[in-house]
Amino acid sequence: MAEKRKFKKRYCKYCEAKIDYIDYKDMNLYKHSLSERYKIMPRRLTGNCKVHQDMVTDAIKRARHIALVPYIVDRKQVTQYSLD
Ligand SMILES: [Zn+2]
């Protein structure tokens, strides 16, 4: 297929690193599961397994609750000093 893919190899990073619990306080653990607008990346893009994706989702939602991760990112914050 000529489709351009952002993630070439699909494997679960957490399984590889043998992580059995994702702490919501440790942003480094789930940083790559967040998009640039701090959305949770879907499993089909990151290649996480179901178990770890659920853990990531849970951790990110908790982190949002205590304001470690923003819920929404304003367009102005993404493209700083844009014309409009
Ligand atoms: Zn996994």
Provide the residue type at 41 as one letter: M
Residue 64 CA to ligand 1 center (angstroms) comes to: 22
Residue 18 CA to ligand 1 center (angstroms) comes to: 8
**CATH fold label, 13-73:** 30s Ribosomal Protein S18 (4.10.640)
Ranges of the chain whose pLDDT falls below 70: 1-9, 77-84
Residue 9 CA to ligand 1 center (angstroms) comes to: 14
Q: What is the pLDDT of residue 78?
A: 63
Rounded CA separation 45/37 (Å): 15
Cβ atoms of 78 and 37 closer than 8 Å: yes
Residue 68 CA to ligand 1 center (angstroms) comes to: 23
Domain ranges of the chain: 13-73
Q: What is the pLDDT of residue 83?
A: 47
